[in-house]
Amino acid sequence: MNYQNRTVIITGASSGIGREYARVFAGKRARLVLTGRREKKLDEAREEAMGLGAASVELIVGDLADARTASAVEAIAGDRNTAVLINNAGFSHYGNVAESECGPLLDMLMVQAEVPLRLCREALRGMRHAGSGLIINVGSLAGRVAVPGSALYVATKCFLERLSETLALEAAADGVVVQALTPGYVRTDFHRDIENYQEKRQNRGLIRWMDADAVVRRSLRAADRAHRRLRSHPHAIPRRRDVIVIPGAANRFLGALSPLVPRNLVYRAAMRQPRR
Ligand SMILES: NC(=O)c1ccc[n+]([C@@H]2O[C@H](COP(=O)([O-])OP(=O)(O)OC[C@H]3O[C@@H](n4cnc5c(N)ncnc54)[C@H](OP(=O)(O)O)[C@@H]3O)[C@@H](O)[C@H]2O)c1
């Protein structure tokens, strides 16, 4: 697809995977709309993107759990010039549900489920008119398992994966590609609040840490492949490998294994994990 002067919305672009997507689409001379709470980091992202060739960069600074921030992004998503929407913003919150305040749990539901759904709906309507488009919802392999202390994280990531699969089927006839990017561990700011997290970012067995640029490369390669296929076979049913994209061979192995492992074993492994 040609992204020159087309709008590309990336939520959570102040660091990590979102920032990496911003670099790639800047190089394709797109009009970037970048969101996040850390204004200084977003300013840096804008400067970098302009240096890489972005046609323009608009920043929306604020918490996506705040309805005003979410509405500002939603208004742009419905614009017919929007070619790409990347629902990437996400955070971790640790604590058993019974011991957590309601606030952080509901914020997560908003940032990682309600807002992505609203943005998908708006973007799909505009993309349908344009006859093409790309939506990437960033899930997680964690959405396939049970993780005590991270119930809402797991549930929202599972939601995003299932939502994306169905939207991919609904939108294919309109020339729109929908992808659930489902990474394992990635070296970003995501784990920065975990004690000794630098030490914990070590590969162990099938646990393989990846860099954000490799994750994004894999995602966009799959998106290009899906677009080429839609162009040559407009009535083709999307393929699983283009819809659920799991970067990294070890992660793909874990992803293929997850539905086959008896759930009781999953529970036992989850309970054996050290609590934070
Ligand atoms: N890193 C991993 O191991 C891993 C694995 C699987 C999936 N993921 C997913 O990948 C996505 C990107 O995370 P990352 O690894 O790149 O981590 P990151 O570097 O921490 O990036 C997260 C982005 O989301 C934004 N964000 C978080 N909460 C927000 C909120 N309430 N309102 C607005 N923006 C918010 C952050 O911006 P501000 O802090 O500036 O608000 C930041 O730009 C997340 O959805 C995460 O769940 C990460």
Distance 229 CA to ligand 1 centre (A): 30
Per-residue pLDDT at 103:
96
Mean pLDDT value across residues 105-133: 97
Q: Are 216 and 20 in contact (CB under 8 A)?
A: yes
Per-residue pLDDT at 204:
85
Strand partners, 57: 32
Q: Are 211 and 188 in contact (CB under 8 A)?
A: no
CA distance 113 to 74: 14
Distance 15 CA to ligand 1 centre (A): 7
Percent above pLDDT 90 for the chain:
89
- CA–CA–CA angle 125, 55, 53 (5° rounding): 130
Q: Are 7 and 31 in contact (CB under 8 A)?
A: yes
180-223 pLDDT, tens digit per residue, is 999 999 999 998 877 666 666 788 888 899 999 999 999 999 99
Q: Are 256 and 197 in contact (CB under 8 A)?
A: no
Only one residue has tokens 């992204």, namely 3
Distance 87 CA to ligand 1 centre (A): 10
CA distance 40 to 156: 28
Per-residue pLDDT at 197:
66
11-52 pLDDT, tens digit per residue, is 999 999 999 999 999 999 999 999 999 999 999 999 999 999
For residue 122, the one-letter residue type is E
CA distance 110 to 114: 5
What is the reported pTM?
0.97
226-244 pLDDT, tens digit per residue, is 999 999 998 899 999 999 9
DSSP 173: G
Is 91's C-beta closer than 6 angstroms to any atom of ligand 1? yes
Per-residue pLDDT at 125:
96
Closest CA to 221 of 242, 202, 200: 242
Strand partners, 60: 35
62-105 pLDDT, tens digit per residue, is 999 999 999 999 999 999 899 999 999 999 999 999 999 999 99
Is 192's C-beta closer than 6 angstroms to any atom of ligand 1? no
Distance 186 CA to ligand 1 centre (A): 11
Per-residue pLDDT at 66:
98
Tell me: pLDDT of 2 over 80. yes
CA distance 94 to 75: 32
123-170 pLDDT, tens digit per residue, is 999 999 999 999 999 999 999 999 999 999 999 999 999 999 999 999
Residue 276's pLDDT band, with cuts at 50, 70 and 90, is low
What are the structural domains of the chain?
Answer: 7-272 (3.40.50.720)
Crossing angle of the two packed helices 16-27 and 212-232, in degrees rounded to 10: 50
Per-residue pLDDT at 22:
98
Residue 174's pLDDT band, with cuts at 50, 70 and 90, is very high
Per-residue pLDDT at 217:
98
Per-residue pLDDT at 260:
94
CA distance 132 to 169: 14
Tokens, residue 83: 């070619």
Q: Where are any strands of DSSP class E within 124-238?
A: 133-138, 176-181, 186-187, 210-211
CA distance 45 to 23: 8
Q: What is the largest CA-CA distance in the chain?
A: 53
CA distance 159 to 106: 15
Identify the residue whose C-alpha is closest to ligand 1 atom 47: 90
Per-residue pLDDT at 202:
83
Closest CA to 35 of 19, 54, 52: 19
Give CB contacts under 8 A, 24+ apart, made by 44-47: 45/13, 45/14, 45/19
Residue to probe by mutation, ligand 1, list 9, 10, 14, most atoms within 8 Å of CB: 14
